[in-house]
Amino acid sequence: MKKISVLGSTGSIGVRTLEIANAFPERYQVVALTAGNNINLLLKQIHTFSPRIVSVVSEREAQKLRQQLQNVDVEVYHGAEGMIRCSTVPEADMVVAAIVGAAGLMPTMAAIKAGKNVALANKETLVIAGSLIMEEVKRQKVCLLPVDSEHSAIFQALTGHRREDVQRLILTASGGPFREYKPAQFATITPAEALAHPNWDMGRKISVDSATMMNKGLEVIEARWLFDYPATMIDVHIHPESIIHSLVEYRDGAVMAQLGIPDMKTPIAYALSWPERLPLVQQPLDLCRLGQLSFSAPDIERFPCLQLAYEALEVGGTVPAVMNAANEIAVAAFLNNQLSFPGIAEVIRKVMYRHESEDLTSVEQALHADLWSRRKTQEFISGGPL
C-alpha cells in the first residue's frame, strides 16, 4: 500500500487525487493533508481518510479546526511550518504537490530533501527554482512525476525512446475562452468570462492563466526542467478540442502523442500508480464522434504572456521567479477588478524589465526575487506608472 500526503487537498487537483485514493483504498492510504481556508471540505476529508496530521493557513483556522476535531486522533498545524510537516511526514511514500503558486516551493523542496517521491501539480515550483529542484531530485535519487496533463503526456510519449533521438516537445493548449476574440475585445473581458474555461474544470488562478496563455508559458518552463531540453526544442500548438494532451517529435519524423478525454483524473492516477495504470471508470474517447482535431500556432500579439515566459526562460536566473510572482499578483488584481485583462501582461512586462537578473544559487535567493516582484507589481497596480 502506498501512503500519500496531499498538499492542497481542497483544490481541484487535491480533490481528484482523494477521489482516486477513495476508489482504491487497497492501494492508497492518506497520511497527511494541507488546505487553505476551505475548512468545511477539509473536515469531510479528515473524517473520510483519517490522516495523522493536517495543516491550514492560519493559527485562527487551526484553532477552529481543533475545536471541531476534539474526539479525532489528528494533529493540526498551520502556516509554512505545517505544510513542511505534512510534506515530510515520515510514513509518506509520495507527496502530491498540488498547492497553487509560489507557496508550493518550500514544501515541495522539503519533501524531496526528505527522500519522498513527488507527484508534481505545482508548476510554479519548477518555474521559480527549476535548476535547484532538479539538482536535489538527482541528489536524493527520488522520482518527480508530472501531474499536469501536458507533461504527463510528454512523459508517456518519451517512454521507451532514447533522449538523444528527440527533436521537439510539443505542448498543446486549448487556447482558452478568448482564442477567437478580436484585439479590440480584450479590454472589456471580465473575470467571470475569464473563469469560464471551455474544456477544463480548474481553479480560479489557473483558469485566468489559461485565458492569458501564461499557463502555457509556465508549462514551457516546467517542461524545460522536467525533461532537460532547451526552450528552442519546446513548441506550443493551439488544439481547441483538448484531446491530444502533448506530443514528442523524433529525429526520424515519427511523432508520439498521448490522447484522452480532458479529465485530470487520468494524469493524476498515472502519477500515483506509475509504472502501472489504474482501471479508472472513465468516459471512453470516441474519435469517430469527434470527427476531426484541429491545430494552429499561438497568436503572440493577442497573448503576450506566452512570449514573456519564453523571454524569462531565455534570460534565466531569477527572472522566471520575478515573472511568476508578478503574474500571481496581477491575476489577483484582475479577479478583484483592479486591473484590466490586457493589464496583466503589461504589468508583468514592466516588472520583468525592471529586474536585474542574478544567477540562481539558492532557494532563498529565488524567494527574495519573488518578494521583490510582488512588492513592485503591487506598486504598479496601486498607481505607479506602467
Listed residue (161, 179, 190, 171) closest to 123, CA to CA: 171
The pLDDT tens digits for 325-356 are 999 999 999 999 999 999 999 999 999 999 99
Show the cell assigned to 121: 501539480
CA distance 59 to 194: 33
Mean pLDDT of 33-46: 94
Beta strands in 35-182 (DSSP E): 53-56, 75-78, 94-97, 117-120, 144-146, 166-173
Alpha-carbon distances of 176 from 63, 209, 220, 239, rounded to whole Å: 40, 9, 17, 10
User: Does 36 have pLDDT greater than 90?
Assistant: no
Rounded distance, CA 180 to CA 280, Å?
Answer: 34
In the chain the domains, ranked by start, together with CATH numbers, are: 2-146 (3.40.50.720), 162-261+294-315 (no CATH)
User: For the CA atoms of 72, 78, 82, 87, what is the dihedral angle to 10 degrees?
Assistant: 80
Report the percent of the chain where pLDDT is more than 70: 98
Per-residue pLDDT averaged across 269-286, rounded?
95
- Structure confidence at residue 385 as a pLDDT band (50, 70, 90): very low
Q: pLDDT for 299-314, tens place per residue? A: 998 999 999 999 999 9
Q: Helices 319-335 and 204-212: crossing angle, nearest 10°?
A: 110
- Phi and psi at 70, nearest 5°, equal -60, -30
- Please report which confidence band the pLDDT of residue 101 belongs to, taking 50, 70 and 90 as the band edges: confident
Residue 112 carries which side chain, given as an amino acid letter?
I
- What would the pLDDT profile of 161-216 be if each residue is shown by its tens digit? 999 999 999 999 998 889 889 888 999 999 999 988 666 566 788 899 999 999 99
**What's the confidence (pLDDT) of residue 383?**
77
Which residue has 514544501 as its cell numbers?
A: 107
Instruction: Return the DSSP state at 187.
Output: G
User: Residue 163 and residue 229: Cα distance in Å, rounded?
Assistant: 9
Of 215, 251, 219, residue with least CA distance to 155: 219
